[in-house]
Structure 1
Amino acid sequence: MEKNARGGKVVTVVDGLPKIEAYLKELSKELKTKCGVGGTYSVSGKEGLIEIQGDKREQIKKIFEQKGIKYKGM
């Protein structure tokens, strides 16, 4: 969860994802739809990341558990 350099707004950042644009696009769309918020994805840098508006850590954990995606640090 980040708040810095975002005008005081909270953003949940999921990083350490593979740099496959189609995968990130599909996963970010699913997370945004199920959480009911906006967000974006990025393939710049050495790994892919997804940013979801708001503190949606618990919802994202549940989605990842259903999909069988391993996570840590939430």
Structure 2
Amino acid sequence: MKMPSNKLSMILLATVFSFSITACEDKPAETLGERVDEKAEQLGNTIEDACEEVKEGVDAKDSDC
């Protein structure tokens, strides 16, 4: 199956554009991963704190979550 040249050009342009966006990233992937881990941990702590507050509010025997 032969592709029209304009369709092939668009695919090539999209590929080059995708790689150029990735190459221009200011922070390396490792730094970005560390930031995601840090935010996930903060969110987990916030959820755990809220859970413990609710359990304390209803006088649960076990206030740990």
Normalised to the residue count of structure 1, the TM-score between the two structures is 0.25
Higher helix share: 2
Higher strand share: 1
Normalised to the residue count of structure 2, the TM-score between the two structures is 0.27
